[in-house]
Structure 1
Amino acid sequence: MEVNLEIPEKMLFLLTTKKRYKVAYGGRGSSKSWSIGACLIAKALESKCRILCTRQLQTSIAQSVHKLLSDTISRLGLDDRFEITQNVIRCDNGSEFYFKGIQNNINEIKSIEGINYCWVEEAQSVTKESWDVLIPTIRAEDSEIWISFNPDREEDATYQNFVVAKRDDCTSVLVNYTDNPFFPDTLRKEMEYCKQVDYGKYEHIWLGKTVINTEAQVFHDKFELKEFETPDGMTFYYGSDWGFANDPTTLVRCFIKDHCLYIDYESGGVGVEFEEIPALFKKVPYDRQWEIRADSARPETISYVARQGFNIKACPKWQGSVEDGIEYIRSFRRIYIHPRCQHTYKEFQFYSYKTDRNTGEILPIVLDKDNHYIDAIRYALNPYIQKKVSILSVLD
Structure 2
Amino acid sequence: MAKTIRYGYIFEQTEKAFSQGKKLIIHKGGTGSGKTYDLMLFLVVFVAMRQKGKVITVVSESKPHLDIGAIRIAQKILMDLGLSDQVVFNSTRAIFTFPTQSVIEFFSADRIEKALGARRYMLYGNEINTLKFDVWDELARRSEFVIGDFNPTAEFWLEKFLAYYGEHVIIKSNYLNNPFLPEEERKRIELRANLDANFKRTHVDVEYGSLEGLIFDNWKQVDEMPKDLDWELRGMDFGFTNDPTALVRVGFKDGELWLDEEEYSTGLLASDIARLLGKLGLTSQDEVIADNKPETIFELRRAGYNVKAAYKPAGSIVAGIDSMKRYRLNVTKRSLNLIRELRNYMWKLDSSGKALNEPIDKFNHAIDAVRYAVMAKTLGRKRMVRVGRV
TM-score with structure 1 setting the length: 0.78
C-alpha displacement at 1:239, in angstroms?
A: 0.7
Q: Aligned residue for 2:7?
A: 6
Within 2, Cα distance between the matches of 1:309 and 1:130? 49
Query: 1:178 pairs with 171, 176, 179, which one?
Result: 176
Contact 1:223–1:337 under 8 Å retained in 2: no
Within 2, Cα distance between the matches of 1:85 and 1:217? 40
Q: Does 1:57 align with 2:62?
A: yes
C-alpha displacement at 1:168, in angstroms?
A: 0.9
Aligned counterparts, 1:187-198, within 5 A: 187-198=185-196
Q: Aligned residue for 2:226?
A: 231
Within 2, Cα distance between the matches of 1:37 and 1:3? 15
In the comparison of the two structures, how many residue pairs are matched? 373
Query: 1:275 pairs with 254, 271, 275, which one?
Result: 271
| 1:74–1:317 CA distance, 2 compared to 1 (3 A) | closer
Q: Aligned residue for 2:335?
A: 341
Aligned counterparts, 1:1-396, within 5 A: 6-8=7-9, 9-41=12-44, 42-48=46-52, 49-58=54-63, 62-63=67-68, 65-78=70-83, 82-84=87-89, 86=91, 87-104=94-111, 106-107=113-114, 109=115, 115-131=120-136, 134-135=139-140, 138=142, 143-155=144-156, 157=157, 159-162=158-161, 165=163, 167-205=165-203, 207-214=205-212, 216-219=213-216, 222-227=217-222, 229-234=224-229, 235-243=231-239, 245-265=241-261, 267-278=263-274, 290-296=286-292, 298-332=293-327, 334-357=328-351, 362-386=355-379
Contact 1:274–1:301 under 8 Å retained in 2: yes
C-alpha displacement at 1:380, in angstroms?
A: 0.6
C-alpha displacement at 1:294, in angstroms?
A: 0.8
AA of the residue aligned to 1:212: S
Cα deviation 1:256-304 (Å, max 9, x = unaligned): 3444434343532233223332466689x765574211112x1221232
Q: What is the DSSP-based 3-state SS (H/G/I as helix, E as strand, rest coil) of the residue aligned with 1:46? A: coil
Cα deviation 1:219-254 (Å, max 9, x = unaligned): 4xx434434553331132421111265322111223
Within 2, Cα distance between the matches of 1:210 and 1:286? 44
Within 1, Cα distance between the matches of 2:353 and 2:361? 19
C-alpha displacement at 1:381, in angstroms?
A: 1.0
AA of the residue aligned to 1:187: E
Output the aligned Cα RMSD. 3.7
Contact 1:54–1:64 under 8 Å retained in 2: no
The alignment-based identity, stated in percent, is 26
Contact 2:261–2:366 under 8 Å retained in 1: no
C-alpha displacement at 1:321, in angstroms?
A: 2.4
Contact 1:26–1:207 under 8 Å retained in 2: no
| 1:43–1:304 CA distance, 2 compared to 1 (3 A) | same
Q: What is the DSSP-based 3-state SS (H/G/I as helix, E as strand, rest coil) of the residue aligned with 2:317? A: helix
Contact 2:88–2:97 under 8 Å retained in 1: yes
Within 2, Cα distance between the matches of 1:213 and 1:261? 23
Within 2, Cα distance between the matches of 1:226 and 1:82? 33
Q: What is the DSSP-based 3-state SS (H/G/I as helix, E as strand, rest coil) of the residue aligned with 2:111? A: helix
Within 2, Cα distance between the matches of 1:179 and 1:307? 50
Contact 2:201–2:209 under 8 Å retained in 1: no
Q: Aligned residue for 1:394?
A: none
TM-score with structure 2 setting the length: 0.79
Contact 2:27–2:171 under 8 Å retained in 1: yes
- Gaps (5+ residues) in structure 2? 384-390
Q: What is the DSSP-based 3-state SS (H/G/I as helix, E as strand, rest coil) of the residue aligned with 2:225? A: coil
| 1:375–1:301 CA distance, 2 compared to 1 (3 A) | same
Within 2, Cα distance between the matches of 1:361 and 1:88? 47
| 1:37–1:330 CA distance, 2 compared to 1 (3 A) | closer
C-alpha displacement at 1:69, in angstroms?
A: 1.9
Within 2, Cα distance between the matches of 1:356 and 1:59? 37
Cα deviation 1:310-354 (Å, max 9, x = unaligned): 43222233343223223322333x444444434334434444444
| 1:348–1:50 CA distance, 2 compared to 1 (3 A) | closer
Contact 2:137–2:161 under 8 Å retained in 1: no
AA of the residue aligned to 1:126: L
Q: Aligned residue for 2:386?
A: none
| 1:307–1:134 CA distance, 2 compared to 1 (3 A) | farther
